[in-house]
Structure 1
Amino acid sequence: MPDGEAWADATAMLEDGTEDVLVTNEMPFGLWHPTRHMFNVDRAREWANLHERSLDALSRLPVRSVISSRPILSGNRLVNEAFAPVDSQYHFLHQKHYFPAENGWQEQAWFETAKEGFDVAAVAGVTVGVLLCTELMFPEKARWLGQLGADLIAVPRATGTDHRMWRTAASMAAIVSGAYVVSSNRVGQYDAAAPNFGGGGIVVDADGQEVAMANRHQPAVRVGIDKALSAAAKSKYPVYVR
């Protein structure tokens, strides 16, 4: 929730105000609702409203910008929209295109895509692209963002306790794009119907080397984005291959 003791603890690490960009997990506020196949419009509206109220809390964090995502009601479903509040202004970044459909992650029944496309945007002096959770499994999208000039691919996610595929996918996304890949994940299990989210934030540099993983002892990881390294990586194999 965007207030109270838990929020204060989670954001206390930012008090020195030296970060340019904070990457959060996917739709970070409230419970995780798409655990069952049947879409529930009341729960969807409550979840969307909570994230709408949370925009103010995110914009007041002592960082230049935040990259996050939120559910927004759209027709008879939700959209999962990545955004960045910059100087208290809301900047649209991307809407999720690929949705799993299995126990715990019945997103196909809950979400649609209203704004298509994968693009980059300038955020706090960095060229950023976003892949939302499952989209990391499609390296052609990371490659496309790299061709558009992305220095950073942010990957908010909500995944389980097995990190093997996600670490591999993050490294592959960096290898084919020449961009840094930074992913943040949910933690914990809220009830028996919900997945057990496994944390494990991942940081991969523009050469595809995993440089850090978050864990319960180090829940936040800082990394410097070297735009010269990203530019150089785009001239190397396999990024330059057309």
Structure 2
Amino acid sequence: MNNVFIGSPVRNRAWVLERHLHSLQQQAIQKQFKYILNDSEDQTEIILQNHHIPYETHNMGKAYGHLRGQYSYAHLAKLRNRLLEEFLKSDCEYLFSVDTDIIIPPHSLQQLIYNDKDICAMLIRNHPQIKAHNALIHGRHVPEFSKGLIPVECTGAVYLIKRQVIEAGVRYANHASGEDAAFCEHAKVLGFNLFVDTRLRPVHVYAEGVELVAQLAAS
């Protein structure tokens, strides 16, 4: 049985959380949820409760905001590592690390499982004005993509991780480029391979009213 443990830190995401959770709950696989609520002041907690999503609260203090550019990567690393602890207590084979502003396509989690990679992400566009995606090679964003699986050195936001990666000790940490970058660097050092599946292109709700979908190169 391909059980997937799904989780993320979350705060002040009531404006997009219903859509995010619905896209996950519609995936036709065995799954478990665990979210980490932190310093949230809107209706996020009520939405988690209404969807019967298990969560725990770890408030880190409000010195850092929840808007883009205000995150504390050190705080996020601690919260994500807390999720890894919960994952290892489960009997799930995979961890799906997904940001709460991502709306994934139908059947996309099953496709990531079929790909059978150590770490495999869906492709998202990170920014509305520049060609920045969650796929980096040699420290640079890949500007254009063909259709299929591509090896990368760093990814983030929406990726499936095999249990053996976490059991090997790969963890999140503070990093100038974000806690996902630290996780990917650690995974590469320990010999794990990372891929992005460009066939799977979720909606990235960058802000209220701003929705991004990655585009493939013209054939």
Q: TM-score range by the shorter chain?
A: 0.3 to 0.5
Specify which structure has the bigger relative contact order, considering alpha-carbon pairs within 8 angstroms and separated by 6 or more residues.
2
Normalising to structure 1: TM-score of the pair?
0.33
